[in-house]
Amino acid sequence: MPTKPDDILAIRDLEVHFEQSGSSLSRLLGRPSGTVKAVDGINITLQRGEVLGLVGESGSGKTTLGRAILGLVPATSGTITYTPPAGEGVDIATLKGATLRSMRQRLQMVFQDPSAALNPSMTLETAIGHPLVIHKVASGEELRQRVIASLERVGLSPAEQFLSKYPSDLSGGQKQRAVMARAIIVGPELVVADEPVSMLDMSVRAKVLQLMLDLKRDLGLTYVYVTHDLATAKFFCDRVAIMYLGKIVEIGPSDEIFADPKHPYTKSLLKAIPDPDPSKAIPRDLPRGEIPDAARPPKGCSFHPRCPMARNDCGWEPRDLKSLVEEHWTTTDLATFEREHELVGHLVELNTSAGEVVVEPHRGKGSPDDVWAMFSAIKDARPDEPLWRGVTSMEKTPAGVKFVFAPSSPVNLRASGASEVACVLYPSAP
């Protein structure tokens, strides 16, 4: 795919999969028990001098995507094309060995935990100068001078005072500055910053973010800012990509995303941020549940089981019915729960993504009529559950109760206003 001259990075159809080893038995037999699609078909173009925010909760794949950009985790498929200011683009996804390592002069990284990112047994002088030694750029007095210049640049001055210090002598903010000094000493173009301020105290966060903005302005850096914190992303980023279970659900200019969030997930995230203004009441209509198991992502739109605005074609499946029954049990009295649990057991038959399923009485206890009565009661008690929109039919059969689920509509990214959204509520423009 051709790239414009001011594009620094073009990611196309990137996928990063991890083999997950399950139980100890399957590990012993060397059998992988599942594939986690940590990054599942990502397309992003990054312009020179831009700050792109990758925002998501844990398990969204934002960190893996950030690492894949640097070639720190191997891409399963797709391309990551980096274009230097002058010259041909290179696909980082295919680079290996020495050529990949030499790319690290252009692409650098800042880590979440500054205490862990520095080798505890290296002085700051050795640690910060090490990239220059690795890439054989400078040595001797020149190396020392460049380390001093870099320390001064990140505000650790007088630098001479810090040269012989160990990371354990520094405070959190100072360590993060040292990590920044190490990242910029080789003169990179793109810096992937993985939650650079989330481990720091409130009063220090602003200082480190300001430093990053100063460095961007002075050194012409491009940032990929990986974070779970929408508040800092709003302030810091030009463009924001909201990620959920390995996919981008919404991407667009920061102003647009925050002023007019479109995807229900983005809306929920914005609503959930605790705001220090006590006049804003505690939000009551938050999505329930948590990010699902990435090895078995939900059918259709991954967010549908938690989505307050879900429709019939969002990808409803038997597993969602099980969650509903379990939630129903948290509201019933103990006797009802015990009777119903006795009747249907652990509902293992619902652990599937099939289009239809039959719930039978567990081990012959009770009749299909009892099961029918139970589900009818649940449906009557919670008629507004989005799940029922996705159940096209619920009927009694000789064996039990049969549920048929509506097929799901595709949820690829589609332009809507200035941003792109992956949600059935925003179909592509006719």
In the complex with other proteins, the residue whose CB is nearer, 102 or 145, is 102
**Pick from 363, 357, 359: nearest CA to 342:** 363
Contact 323, 305 (CB under 8 A): yes
Sign, Cα dihedral of 135, 139, 144, 145: negative
Q: Rounded to the nearest whole angstrom, what is the least distance from the CB of residue 392 to other proteins in the complex?
A: 26
Q: Rounded to the nearest whole angstrom, what is the least distance from the CB of residue 81 to other proteins in the complex?
A: 19
Contact 362, 343 (CB under 8 A): yes
In the complex with other proteins, the residue whose CB is nearer, 277 or 384, is 277
Residues 353 and 231: their CA atoms lie apart, in Å, by 36
Biggest CA-to-CA distance, the chain: 87
In the complex with other proteins, the residue whose CB is nearer, 165 or 379, is 165
Residue 10 has what DSSP assignment?
A: E
Q: Rounded to the nearest whole angstrom, what is the least distance from the CB of residue 398 to other proteins in the complex?
A: 26
Q: Rounded to the nearest whole angstrom, what is the least distance from the CB of residue 131 to other proteins in the complex?
A: 5
In angstroms, what CA-CA distances link 341 with 181, 352, 402?
59, 19, 18
In the complex with other proteins, the residue whose CB is nearer, 288 or 363, is 288
Residue type, 388: W
Q: Rounded to the nearest whole angstrom, what is the least distance from the CB of residue 209 to other proteins in the complex?
A: 6
Contact 83, 8 (CB under 8 A): yes
Residues 77 and 71: their CA atoms lie apart, in Å, by 13
Q: Rounded to the nearest whole angstrom, what is the least distance from the CB of residue 1 to other proteins in the complex?
A: 27
Residue type, 274: P
In the complex with other proteins, the residue whose CB is nearer, 66 or 400, is 66
Q: Rounded to the nearest whole angstrom, what is the least distance from the CB of residue 125 to other proteins in the complex?
A: 12
For 140-211, strand residue ranges (E) read: 190-194
Residue 188 parent element (H or E): none
In the complex with other proteins, the residue whose CB is nearer, 129 or 406, is 129
In the complex with other proteins, the residue whose CB is nearer, 227 or 312, is 227
**DSSP letter string, 355-373:** SEEEE--GGG-S-HHHHHH
Residue 377 burial (10 A CB sphere; 0-12, 13-18, 19+): middle
Q: Rounded to the nearest whole angstrom, what is the least distance from the CB of residue 309 to other proteins in the complex?
A: 15
In the complex with other proteins, the residue whose CB is nearer, 337 or 372, is 337
Query: Which residues touch 130 (CB under 8 Å, ≥6 apart)?
Result: 122, 182
In the complex with other proteins, the residue whose CB is nearer, 132 or 406, is 132
In the complex with other proteins, the residue whose CB is nearer, 112 or 312, is 112
Rounded to 5, what percent of the chain is helix, strand, coil? 40, 20, 40
Q: Rounded to the nearest whole angstrom, what is the least distance from the CB of residue 124 to other proteins in the complex?
A: 12
Query: Which residues touch 40 (CB under 8 Å, ≥6 apart)?
Result: 15, 61, 245, 246, 247
In the complex with other proteins, the residue whose CB is nearer, 182 or 312, is 182
Q: Rounded to the nearest whole angstrom, what is the least distance from the CB of residue 393 to other proteins in the complex?
A: 26
In angstroms, what CA-CA distances link 337 with 254, 302, 345, 377, 410?
47, 29, 11, 13, 37
**Pick from 419, 42, 411: nearest CA to 257:** 419
Q: Rounded to the nearest whole angstrom, what is the least distance from the CB of residue 384 to other proteins in the complex?
A: 18
